[in-house]
């Protein structure tokens, strides 16, 4: 069989592939554990593990002392804690978007990256989930007083509070993503079960696969459920970040109470999420030689989406400025100068950095070469990841520092513990990702096979047309 290049200069699967070659490339990454015993796997997870310990120390100290170890104060009662929360949640969104929305849009190319990005979603939401709990003054009661269960106190949560909406949104989001992810894994577990030679591996994967045997009737129900789950996840992913943005949009704080927040936050989330996928996909792809399955075409399209969402975010920033001006109240004008006056206001650098990272740098993706060069992909993704963090910093602490009554405006400065908490979660995230790569198929095996099948069909029809034309010529 010749390869697919002649059909499409930039096909989704490169090389001369059969179903078994797919298995060898994806499934055996997990089956053959020896493949991981090299620096490229141990170095990152080693560093990540150190950072996880930093996280543990920070959390321990936090519970022992109280959140006074952070820089938060009055009026800036929310700072790094909520910034990180929103940032992580945002990163999570790309996963669901890729796996659900692109599925509904019948975007075949998603098949090679959805598993990976779903994993990213789950781990990102885990990181995010730490903050709403740990940022409270009394986590030991917060973790159950926020859930509605009949208790001896006779009191219920207060459902008018956006924070309650958060609790429901985030926990639903996590549950559904997890289920979605596991459902997708079941057939692959079966594959692993059948390929693995090691007895224990066999047992474990057999257990996880629930005895899946690929029956057509099962596939029938399976696909119904899978598709509908995707259908549900789509509004879900949109709702989650909208609700997160309600935390701010619902309040009276100047700089928060803006109606554009929900769409603007969702776009920002996807923006950051795709950047993170690109960032993580590049090394993994190299490490495990997946170039044939995750191709430049994938990066090209992810870059395009990044660019598009980036423009939406830029539109959001413009609207913020417009509202500030159009509101016509002094306080809103104050806020604008507070954010933008580079020469007089202490934190204005954050605003301009954010403009640079989120609006200017991503414009490179207009250029095809940049969309397909490792250097530019990594550069832009990094700048977007940083920029989106800064965006939350500009929105949350910087708005709080600027209060209605000038007398209550005070400065906020982060402490070492603010940073260690943040770095720690990054470590946790990387550690989980690397464990995932080692023990689970990082790419959806059966969907790639499905894709391959479809490409066979496509190719055959194409050949037949060709034959038809030539034979017609001979007559």
Q: Which of residues 33-72 bind another protein (CB under 8 A)?
A: 64-69, 71-72
Structural contact between residues 331 and 404, judged by C-beta atoms closer than 8 angstroms: yes
206 near another protein, rule: CB under 8 A: yes
Number of residues this chain uses to bind another protein (CB under 8 A):
104
Sequence-distant (6+) residues with CB within 8 A of 258 are: 248, 249, 319, 320, 323
Take residue 208 and report the two structure tokens written for it: 């996880």
Can you list the alpha helix ranges (DSSP code H) found in 402-444?
416-439
Residue 146 near another protein by CB under 8 A: yes
Rounded CA-CA distance 326/333 in Å is 9
Single residue of 14, 59, 204, 250 touching another protein by CB under 8 A: 250
* Tokens encoding 286: 């190299």
Asked if residues 362 and 307 have their Cβ atoms less than 8 Å apart, the reply is yes
- Rank residues 81 and 320 by Cβ distance to another protein and give the closer one: 81
Residue number with CB closer to another protein (180 or 429): 180
**Contact map string, positions 70 to 99, toward another protein, x by CB under 8 A:** -xxxxx-xx---------------------
| Widest pairwise Cα distance in the chain | 93
What residues numbered 116-135 form the site for another protein, per CB under 8 A? 135
Which residues, numbered 261-300, are part of the site for another protein (CB under 8 A)?
none
Site for another protein in 214-233 (CB under 8 A): 214-225, 228-229, 232-233
* Shortest distance in whole angstroms from residue 222 CB to another protein: 6
Would you state the structure tokens that stand for residue 383, as one six-digit string? 């700048």
Q: Which pair of tokens denotes residue 294? A: 């995750």
- Rounded least distance, CB 168 to another protein, Å: 4
Q: Which of residues 375-394 bind another protein (CB under 8 A)?
A: none
- Taking the complex as a whole, how short is the minimal distance between the CB of residue 9 and another protein, in angstroms? 26
Interactions with another protein, residue window 295-334 (CB under 8 A): 330-331, 334
Q: What is the DSSP string of 72-112?
A: --SS---SHHHHHHHHHHHHHHHHHIIIIIHHHTT-GGGGG
Given 2, 37, 197, 407, the residue binding another protein (CB under 8 A): 407
Contacting another protein within 327-366 (CB under 8 A)? 330-331, 334
* The two three-digit tokens of residue 142, written as one number: 């917060």
Sole binder of another protein in the list 161, 201, 373, 458 (CB under 8 A): 161
Of 296, 301, 230, 240, nearest to 265 by C-alpha is: 240
Q: How far apart are CA 92 and CA 97, in angstroms?
A: 9
Binding part of the chain for another protein, among 211-219, 273-281, 294-302, 311-319 by CB under 8 A, reads 211-219
């Amino acid at each position: 069989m010749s390869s697919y290049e002649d059909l499409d200069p930039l096909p989704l699967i490169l090389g001369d592939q059969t179903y078994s070659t797919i298995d060898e490339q994806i499934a055996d990454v997990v089956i053959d554990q020896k493949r991981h015993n090299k620096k490229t796997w141990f170095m990152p997870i080693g560093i990540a593990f150190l950072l996880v310990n930093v996280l543990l120390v920070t959390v321990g100290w936090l519970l022992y002392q109280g959140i006074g170890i952070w820089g938060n104060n009055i009026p800036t009662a929310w700072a790094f804690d909520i910034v990180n929360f929103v940032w992580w949640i945002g990163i999570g969104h790309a996963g669901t978007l890729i796996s659900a929305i692109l599925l509904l849009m019948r975007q075949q190319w998603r098949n090679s990256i959805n598993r990976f990005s779903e994993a990213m979603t789950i781990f990102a939401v885990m990181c995010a989930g730490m903050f709403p709990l740990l940022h409270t003054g009394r986590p030991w009661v917060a973790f159950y007083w926020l859930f509605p269960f009949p208790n001896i106190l006779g009191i219920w949560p207060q459902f008018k509070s956006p924070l309650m909406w958060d609790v429901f949104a985030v926990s639903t989001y996590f549950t559904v993503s997890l289920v979605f992810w596991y459902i997708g894994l079941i057939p692959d577990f079966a594959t692993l079960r059948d390929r693995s030679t090691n007895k224990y591996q066999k047992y474990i994967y057999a257990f996880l696969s629930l005895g899946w045997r690929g029956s057509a009737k099962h596939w029938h129900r399976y696909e119904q459920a899978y598709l509908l789950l995707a259908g549900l996840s789509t509004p879900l992913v949109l709702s989650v970040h909208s609700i997160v943005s309600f935390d701010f949009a619902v309040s009276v704080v100047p700089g928060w109470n803006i109606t554009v927040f929900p769409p603007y936050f969702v776009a920002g989330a996807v923006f950051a999420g795709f950047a993170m996928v690109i960032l993580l996909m590049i090394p993994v792809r190299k490490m495990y030689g997946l170039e044939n399955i995750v191709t430049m075409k994938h990066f090209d399209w992810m870059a395009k989406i990044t660019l598009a969402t980036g423009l939406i975010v830029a539109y959001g920033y413009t609207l913020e400025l417009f509202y500030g001006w159009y509101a016509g109240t002094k306080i809103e004008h104050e806020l604008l100068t507070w954010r933008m006056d580079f020469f007089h206001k202490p934190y204005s650098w954050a605003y301009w950095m954010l403009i640079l990272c989120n609006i200017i740098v991503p414009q490179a993706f207009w250029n095809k070469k940049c969309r397909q060069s490792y250097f530019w992909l990594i550069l832009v993704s990094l700048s977007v990841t940083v920029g989106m963090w800064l965006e939350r910093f500009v929105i949350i602490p910087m708005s709080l520092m600027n209060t209605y009554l000038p007398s209550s405006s005070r400065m906020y400065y982060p402490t070492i513990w603010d940073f260690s908490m943040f770095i720690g979660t990054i470590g946790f995230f990387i550690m989980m990702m690397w464990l995932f790569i080692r023990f689970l198929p990082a790419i959806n095996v059966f969907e790639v096979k499905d894709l391959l099948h479809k490409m066979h069909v496509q190719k055959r029809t194409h050949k037949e047309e060709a034959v038809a034309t030539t034979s017609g010529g001979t007559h």
